[in-house]
Amino acid sequence: MNSESDRLFFSALGQAQAWAAECRDLGWLLPRDVERFSVDRRSPAALFPNSGQRPLIVAFFGGTGVGKSTLLNRLAEHEVARTGVMRPTSREVSLYIHCAVDLERLPEKFPIEKVRIDRHAVDKMKNILWIDMPDIDSTETANREIVLEWLPHIDVLVYVVSPERYRDEKGWQLLLSKGARYAWLFAMNQIDQGDPSQRDDFIKQLLNAGFKNPIVFATDCSGTESAGRDEFRQLQETIENLANRHTIEHLEFRSLVAHMHEIENNIDLCMDAMGSPSAIDLMVNRWESVWNDAVNDLNDGIQWPIHEAARIIGSAGGEKNLIKQLAKEGRKEHQAQSQSSTNPMLWDDWAQTRFDDALDQLAVTAGANGIPVTPIKSKLAEIRTQARKILHSQTEQSLRRTLANPGNSIQRQLLAITRLCSGLFPLTAIIWVAYEVLDQFHTSSVSGAPYLGVNFAIHSGLLIFVSWLLPWFIYRKLTPSTEEVALQALQNGTRVGYECIKSRIDDMLRNLVDERVRLIAAAEKITAECSRHSFSETKIENQTLDRMLSKQATIQC
């Protein structure tokens, strides 16, 4: 594996892990989703001190009784792996390796006594390390664990079957799930006990699994080497011809490609777990209906507290007491109403419960549409505790503002006019009366005419009184009562409070959508990087190697 490809892979993996961790911290992903990115980076090269000169690692893989150990023993021309009745329960991994090849280390989970190593001095097999794997379908789970532990260290898997066991379910499942990682050869062993049609049926299975033209050898380990039916030597020669640096580099690169596709697939799975835009739209639309129902219920439920609060304000001293209590409650985050308070609170425990029910419905709707609930609940937690504060704060402001300037703008203009008239009209009447008194006094002095009498005094007094009474009466009628003003203020305050709460939730939903869009964009950037750096299958000049690789590798990995 070249260092540049390795660097690009670890860069992509690091970005994917950081992205997944951020999504987990924000609640969009579960811890098990993040664990998808714990990519297994064990490789065949890890077994050798000098990976640039390592041998090709070939393993015999298959179920119980198919003759894997017999094939290895036949290759070595002596017993390397145990066969017979002991084999199904054996937990050994048998290695057949050239004496000039040094192993760096073996997988940590396996003690040395569980690995059987047999060395040879055959030059033509110097560049091959042969492995006999435990039975994948053994009744002992430890055997399967050994196989799975060793698989990352394999280059070529020789999948050994028998005529009666070539449809082995466990081995077949592993073939489908791990097809991208290895080059595959297939051996139908014990062919002398089967029918040629079984080999053809096995080839059809491999074609369906993604092998365009699989290489299947028929082997006979009975010792008779039936003429024309035993292809063991062809199997051996095929592997020996592949034991070169070019093949190893291509397989390492292919393994790297498989890992990159694994990152992409895991990111795609994580993005699917974060919900779809259409699901979020459904949630938002549903929320509008849920909120309208909640507001209707809240309005119906707080009518009595609103009227009672208005009545208290209309009484002597009630205004200051209620405003003081509203201000005190507005400074609280979320506390139960004081049991000693004699003034009714608008947002009591019932209102808080009804509001919480609406938020819970929002979370339930999100979960029903495949949207992660955790980020929604975490963002709603603060709004839950602030609802009381918001509504009381808005009603307090509305109450102060309205009591300072009661009525609407037209009412206030009419009140100003009538207040002016209640002073101007009497003053005008007084001036006219005074003028008449002086004028009649002058006329009487000059001409001796009789002075003003009782009738003038009575009518003048009535004129002055009426000129004051009429605008004063209109002013009094136009002036709303303190209770009416308070009722209007409280109703307006609660309406504004609902709007503020709704605005907070809408902002939360918008931020939630924006956050998801940002995370999805970051994920798509990572997947684009995974595909951009030439991590695609290169043309394979070796036709034998080409036939050994699954064409559905990127799908099955």
- The pLDDT of residue 86 is 45
Q: Determine the distance from the C-alpha atom of residue 475 to the mean position of all C-alpha atoms in its chain, rounded to a whole number.
A: 64
- The pLDDT of residue 471 is 80
- The pLDDT of residue 179 is 64
Reduced to 3 states (helix: H, G, I; strand: E, B; else coil), residue 119 is strand
Residues found in the chain: 557
Q: Of 295, 302, 394, 316, which Cα lies nearest the Cα of 345?
A: 302
Below-70 pLDDT ranges, the chain: 1-6, 39-41, 51, 81-91, 104-114, 137-141, 169-172, 174-176, 178-180, 222-228, 314-345, 404-409, 411-412, 476-481, 533-541, 551-557
For 371, left (φ over 0), alpha (ψ -120 to 50), or beta? beta
- The pLDDT of residue 523 is 95
- The pLDDT of residue 135 is 79
pLDDT digits (tens, 9 = 90+) for 477-507: 666 667 777 888 888 889 999 999 999 999 9
Q: Distance between CA 96 and CA 397 in Å, rounded?
A: 87
Q: Of 77, 69, 73, which Cα lies nearest the Cα of 135?
A: 69
Q: Distance between CA 45 and CA 154 in Å, rounded?
A: 9
Q: Of 368, 313, 274, which Cα lies nearest the Cα of 20?
A: 274
Letter string b/e over residues 137-176, b meaning 16 or more CB atoms within 10 A of that residue's CB: bbeeeebbebbebbbbbbbbbbbbbbbebbebebbbebbe
Torsion of CA 140, 145, 147, 149, to 10 degrees: -160
CA atoms within 13 A on the CB side of 125: 20
Q: Of 375, 254, 262, 272, which Cα lies nearest the Cα of 36?
A: 262
Amino acid residing at 42: R
